[in-house]
């Protein structure tokens, strides 16, 4: 069994307007030292997935089901107390916005020390502070001995994000969940942080779940990619396969709609038409069908009536689409790949 096994995870929120199926049957597994990138647009359920794994949905009205096994331990049935012990110790999270994730009243050092001593009360205050200084040094904060006593507002955005990474790593977590860790940062700082995460992963052998909307970041960091749409995985596979022969029309749409620096400039972008769906009122059948250009490929309007299964394309590469896999490969080679290469065919 893999280090982290998520099986058929569902997180639903009952609301006055109806049931919000934020995550609706998600499965993946992850081994130490590996990174999975979860990609999707706002409202695709990617952040709720991470909250579900950490058990952060429990204080809300959410109804969760499925199985989450971390190192052989079932997190779904674990007590709140047990989850609290695991959070910040064996599994840690890096949030998108470091300013709201750090407490403005306490120094950076005090917040790291608290995280260490909550889980390891036997560690003395001074030893914990020494560890905090060490971790700030590890993440590349200059003069950590002085910085440890400063408040979050005295740090720049990039340094706050580093401080949060230091905090998340201070107990050597074996699972690290990073929710849009670089979205709020500038590209040069983003490059520093991604580089840092890669190095730390090599040293600490953590398993990383990287949640992002940026396909560039995933291509850079991840071993595996999971593309979410409307609360479900629509494509899942190794980064090499998904980027070289993507199999879902939504993935095609994402790839062709973004301008790319590594390719010839396109005269015109190819956007995905329409808007992302509401999770309360998902389209019938395939959730992507109202925005899909290829529904005519499927007989009898199957796309708008039957929910497609997440089926194997080859080996570990899965896609959720009614179009037969060989035909999808054909469409990709004929229609999509030339656009990605900037060969401007259609």
Partner 1 sequence: MTVTEPVATAAATSGAPLLRVTGLTKHFPQFRQTLIKRATNPVRAVDGISFDLQRGQTLGLVGESGCGKSTAGRTLLRLLEPTAGTIEFEGRDVTHARGEELKKLRREMQMIFQDPYGSLNPRQTIGSIIAAPFEIQGITPEGGRRSAVQALMERVGLNPEHYNRYPHEFSGGQRQRIGVARAIALRPKLIVCDEPVSALDVSIQAQVVNLLEDIQSEQQLSYVFIAHDLSVVRHISDRVAVMYLGKIMEEADRDDLYERPRHPYTKALLSAVPVPDPERRKKVTRILLNGDLPSPANPPSGCVFRTRCWKAEDRCASEVPVLTELAPGHRVACHFPEPEPAPISFTAPVAHSDETPA
Site residues (vs partner 1, CB under 8 A): 41-42, 140, 142, 156-159, 186-192, 194-195, 199, 213-220, 239-240, 243, 253-255, 257-262, 265-266, 268-273, 275-276, 291
Q: How far apart are CA 250 and CA 289, in angstroms?
A: 9
Quote the least distance from Cβ 48 to partner 1, whole Å: 17
Between 59 and 268, whose beta carbon lies closer to partner 1?
A: 268
Between 4 and 272, whose beta carbon lies closer to partner 1?
A: 272
Between 159 and 321, whose beta carbon lies closer to partner 1?
A: 159
Between 95 and 288, whose beta carbon lies closer to partner 1?
A: 288
Quote the least distance from Cβ 305 to partner 1, whole Å: 24
Taking residue 211's Cβ as centre, other Cβ atoms within 10 Å add up to 25
Quote the least distance from Cβ 269 to partner 1, whole Å: 4
Quote the least distance from Cβ 309 to partner 1, whole Å: 24
Between 115 and 144, whose beta carbon lies closer to partner 1?
A: 144
Quote the least distance from Cβ 122 to partner 1, whole Å: 31
Closest to 342 in 3D by CA, of 235, 256, 242: 256
Quote the least distance from Cβ 8 to partner 1, whole Å: 27
Between 216 and 283, whose beta carbon lies closer to partner 1?
A: 216
Quote the least distance from Cβ 87 to partner 1, whole Å: 29
Between 214 and 335, whose beta carbon lies closer to partner 1?
A: 214
Between 104 and 259, whose beta carbon lies closer to partner 1?
A: 259
Quote the least distance from Cβ 62 to partner 1, whole Å: 24
Phi-psi region of 301 (alpha: psi -120 to 50; beta: other; left: phi over 0): left
């Amino acid at each position: 069994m893999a280090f982290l096994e998520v099986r058929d995870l569902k997180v639903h929120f009952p609301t006055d307007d109806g049931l919000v199926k934020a995550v609706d049957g998600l499965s993946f597994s992850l081994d130490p030292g590996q990174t999975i990138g979860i990609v999707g647009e706002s409202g695709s359920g990617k952040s709720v997935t991470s909250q579900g794994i950490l058990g952060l949905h429990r204080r809300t009205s959410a109804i969760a089901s499925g199985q989450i096994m971390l190192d052989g331990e079932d997190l779904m049935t674990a007590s709140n107390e047990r989850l609290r012990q695991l959070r910040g110790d064996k599994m840690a999270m890096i949030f998108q916005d470091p300013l709201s994730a750090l407490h403005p009243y306490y120094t950076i050092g005090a917040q790291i020390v608290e995280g260490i001593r909550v889980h390891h009360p036997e560690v003395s205050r001074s030893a914990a502070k020494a560890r905090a200084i060490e971790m700030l040094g590890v993440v590349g904060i200059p003069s950590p001995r002085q910085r440890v006593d400063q408040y979050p507002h005295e740090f720049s955005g990039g340094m706050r994000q580093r401080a949060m990474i230091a905090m998340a790593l201070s107990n050597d977590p074996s699972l690290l969940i990073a929710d849009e860790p670089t979205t709020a940062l500038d590209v040069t700082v983003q490059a520093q942080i991604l580089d840092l995460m890669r190095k730390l992963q090599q040293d600490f052998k953590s398993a990383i779940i990287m949640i992002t909307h940026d396909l560039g970041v995933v291509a850079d960091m991840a071993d595996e990619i999971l593309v979410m749409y409307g609360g479900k995985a629509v494509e899942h596979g190794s980064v090499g396969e998904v980027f070289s022969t993507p199999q879902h029309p939504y993935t095609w749409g994402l790839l062709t709609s973004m301008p790319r620096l590594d390719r010839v400039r396109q005269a015109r972008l190819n956007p995905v038409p329409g808007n992302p769906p509401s999770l309360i009122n998902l389209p019938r059948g395939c959730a992507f069908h109202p925005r899909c250009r290829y529904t005519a490929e499927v007989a009898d309007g199957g796309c708008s009536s039957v929910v497609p299964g997440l089926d194997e394309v080859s080996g570990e590469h899965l896609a959720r689409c009614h179009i037969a896999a060989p035909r999808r490969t054909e469409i990709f080679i004929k229609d999509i790949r030339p656009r990605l290469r900037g060969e401007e065919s259609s």
